[in-house]
Amino acid sequence: MLNVGKIEEGFVLDHIKAGKSLSLYEHLQLDKLDCTVAIIKNARSNKMGKKDILKVECDIDMLDLDVLAFIDHNITVNVIKNGEIVAKKDLVLPPKIRNVIKCRNPRCITSIEQELPHIFVLADEDKEIYRCQYCEEKYSESAKAL
Amino acid sequence: MRHLMSPMDFSVEELERLFDLAASIEQNPAKYAHACEGRILATCFYEPSTRTRLSFESAMTKLGGQVIGFSDAGSSSASKGESVSDTIRVISCYADICAMRHPKEGAPMVAAEKSLIPVINAGDGGHQHPTQTLTDLLTIRSLKGKLGGFTIGLCGDLKFGRTVHSLIKALVRYPDIRFIFISPEELKIPDYITDMLKSKNIAYEEVIRLEQVMPQLDLLYMTRVQKERFFNEEDYIRLKDFYILDKAKMELAGKDMLVLHPLPRVNEISVELDDDPRAAYFRQAKYGVYVRMALILTLLEITV
């Protein structure tokens, strides 16, 4: 088994669906941060069988929890200080997300006016359905990220 | 400042006030003939829609106001690449209220975000056409005396028809309405609508043939079945006559049943029915002007 060391200060994103850590890395724009990031893929998990884990050595405020909640609100967010877990953050679905996903409806005004933000609004919390603020097109997994 | 993007922007109580105002205008048009004097409506139509545009222009003129605007994107700055946001900022300097039609869905909402004047969505692609829904509701309320307590049949293209979807969503807020959806299998009402009706315990029925439900209806809302919606011509030829309202089918209907249609009609309602007192579709067009007059007054916060 591969061992990745503890981090002193930062956060650990646990229970990421296996294979999703790289897209999460992109969405959270971790490539733009000048800090240590460990991406662990296909770790063994009692709960999930296999899971991914992200360890990031930076302040928790650098993390966009809304984006994280939108992608998967079942992810566990552990805040680490002095090498210990000091808090767990609950993720709730954000009421609105801006410029995270793109509306793919060719009839939407965002398809011709490039400077417009792509805003999606939580339309059904139980079914976790987001709709484009402008054309109300439902977001589907097949829609590519920005 | 308020805009109108969707028929659901107004609560049932607000709609009641709007329809009361429209009824007052109908009864006493002279009282409102100068209500908008010195005010300007801009009709920004990025795609042609003669009926809706003229209805708005008629409404503003009857209120004593003036109208400016364009009737297709070619004669606007959009042809030079100007954004909707920039256009509305400029129009805000010229007019007091704007009615916008645009082929792209959500364009009037983009305008409303930047506008200094009320914006009315006069149709955005296949998305919303709220003043049509307000027209339908006012017609029903005026001719039936109430909104609620009736069986309404919706016939034709129920899959792609935005006026139908919008009307259903608006009607479910009123009590004791039963829906009968009459369409070929290919053009059935979408699941999200029937799911919504189920979740609200609202009675509905889906049938293929119009004549089998005619005696049950208090209202019949007709839409056109377009040939291009069918996978093959054989199905179209087999089914098209089911959805043409003619004298024989009307004989099955009650004497108080009303026929509505958003217009333009092609051949789905036989012209021989136009003089039938139950044919309400041309009166509906008149209510379209009253409701737009009431809407302009409401959004401009003008009381008479």
Q: What is the pLDDT of residues B236-253, one digit of tens each?
A: 787 777 789 999 999 999
Phi, psi for residue B286 in degrees, rounded to 5 = -70, -40
Catalytic residue list of B: 51-52, 80, 101, 129
Q: Is residue A73 situated within a structural domain?
A: yes
Contact A26/B at CB under 8 A: no
Question: Looking at this predicted complex, what is its ipTM?
Answer: 0.86
Q: Which residues of B touch A105 (CB under 8 A)?
A: 105
Q: How many CB atoms lie within 10 A of CB B150?
A: 19
Q: Can you tell me the distance from the alpha carbon of A112 to that of B227, in angstroms, rounded to the nearest whole number?
A: 30
Same domain, A103 and A80: no
Same domain, A25 and A75: yes
- Place A114 in a pLDDT band, splitting at 50, 70 and 90: confident
Q: Is residue A120 situated within a structural domain?
A: yes
Q: CB of A21 within 8 A of CB of A14?
A: no
Q: What is the CATH number of the domain that holds A42?
A: 3.30.70.140
The candidate with the shortest Cα–Cα distance to B63, out of B43, B19, B33, B42, is B33
List strands edge to edge, sheet with B66-70: B66-70, B40-45, B97-102, B119-124
- Place A146 in a pLDDT band, splitting at 50, 70 and 90: very low
Question: Closest-CA residue in chain A for B112?
Answer: A134
Q: Is residue A39 situated within a structural domain?
A: yes
Closest partner residue to B104 (CB to CB) among A112, A115, A137 is A112
Q: Can you tell me the distance from the alpha carbon of A47 to that of B250, in angstroms, rounded to the nearest whole number?
A: 64
pTM above 0.80, yes or no: yes
B219-222 and B204-207 as β-strands: parallel, antiparallel, unpaired?
unpaired
Q: How many CB atoms lie within 10 A of CB A82?
A: 7
What is the nearest CA distance from A103 to chain B, expressed in angstroms?
A: 11
Same domain, A61 and A118: no
C-beta atoms of B105 and A116 within 8 A: no
Phi, psi for residue B42 in degrees, rounded to 5 = -100, 125
- What is the DSSP code (8-state) at residue A138? B
Residue A143 has pLDDT above 50, yes or no: no
Number of domains in chain A: 2
Q: Is residue A121 situated within a structural domain?
A: yes
- Place A4 in a pLDDT band, splitting at 50, 70 and 90: confident
CA distance from start to end of chain B: 19
Q: Is residue A35 situated within a structural domain?
A: yes
What is the nearest CA distance from A127 to chain B, expressed in angstroms?
A: 13
> Residue A24 sits in which domain range?
10-89
Same domain, A65 and A105: no
H or E segment to which residue A56 belongs: strand A49-56
C-beta atoms of A136 and B84 within 8 A: no
- Place A141 in a pLDDT band, splitting at 50, 70 and 90: low
Q: Is residue A146 situated within a structural domain?
A: no
Same domain, A59 and A43: yes
Residue A67 has pLDDT above 60, yes or no: yes
Same domain, A54 and A111: no
Same domain, A45 and A114: no
Q: Can you tell me the distance from the alpha carbon of A53 to that of B149, in angstroms, rounded to the nearest whole number?
A: 58
Closest partner residue to A135 (CB to CB) among B83, B85, B105 is B105
Residue B97 has pLDDT above 80, yes or no: yes
Structure tokens at B263: 């217009």
What is the nearest CA distance from B128 to chain A, expressed in angstroms?
A: 9
Closest partner residue to A134 (CB to CB) among B83, B106, B126 is B106
Decide: residue B119, CB within 10 A, 0-12 exposed, 13-18 middle, 19+ buried.
buried
Q: Which of A25-29, B15-19, B228-232 has the highest mean pLDDT?
A: B15-19
Tell me the domains of chain B and their CATH numbers.
7-128+288-299 (3.40.50.1370), 131-284 (3.40.50.1370)
Contact A116/B at CB under 8 A: yes
Residue B69 has pLDDT above 90, yes or no: yes
- CB within 8 Å of A119: residues ≥ 6 apart: A96, A97, A98, A99, A132, A133, A134
Q: Which residues of A touch B192 (CB under 8 A)?
A: none
Contact A132/B at CB under 8 A: yes
C-beta atoms of B103 and A107 within 8 A: yes
Q: For residues B149 and A61, which has the higher predicted lDDT (pLDDT)?
A: B149
Helix/strand/coil for B243: helix
C-beta atoms of B110 and A132 within 8 A: no
- Place B48 in a pLDDT band, splitting at 50, 70 and 90: confident
Q: For residues A1 and B39, which has the higher predicted lDDT (pLDDT)?
A: B39
Closest partner residue to B105 (CB to CB) among A108, A113, A115 is A108
Q: How many CB atoms lie within 10 A of CB B208?
A: 14
Same domain, A77 and A111: no
Q: What is the pLDDT of residue A1?
A: 62
Q: What is the pLDDT of residue B291?
A: 98
Same domain, A49 and A26: yes
Question: Closest-CA residue in chain A for B86?
Answer: A113
Output the average pLDDT for chain B: 94
Q: What is the pLDDT of residues B184-238, one digit of tens each?
A: 888 899 998 999 999 999 999 999 999 999 999 999 999 988 777 677 788 878 7
Decide: residue B32, CB within 10 A, 0-12 exposed, 13-18 middle, 19+ buried.
buried
Interface of B with A (CB under 8 A): 83-85, 102-107, 109-110, 124-127
Q: Is residue A53 situated within a structural domain?
A: yes
Output the average pLDDT for chain A: 87
Q: CB of B156 within 8 A of CB of B187?
A: yes
Same domain, A47 and A62: yes
- Cα of B40 vs its chain's centroid, Å: 23
Q: What is the mean pLDDT of residues A4-18?
A: 87
Q: Is residue A145 situated within a structural domain?
A: no
What is the nearest CA distance from A111 to chain B, expressed in angstroms?
A: 9
Q: What is the mean pLDDT of residues B57-81?
A: 88
Same domain, A14 and A83: yes
Mutation pick from A107, A109, A111, A120 vs chain B, by most beta carbons of B within 10 Å, is A109
Same domain, A114 and A62: no
- Place A53 in a pLDDT band, splitting at 50, 70 and 90: very high
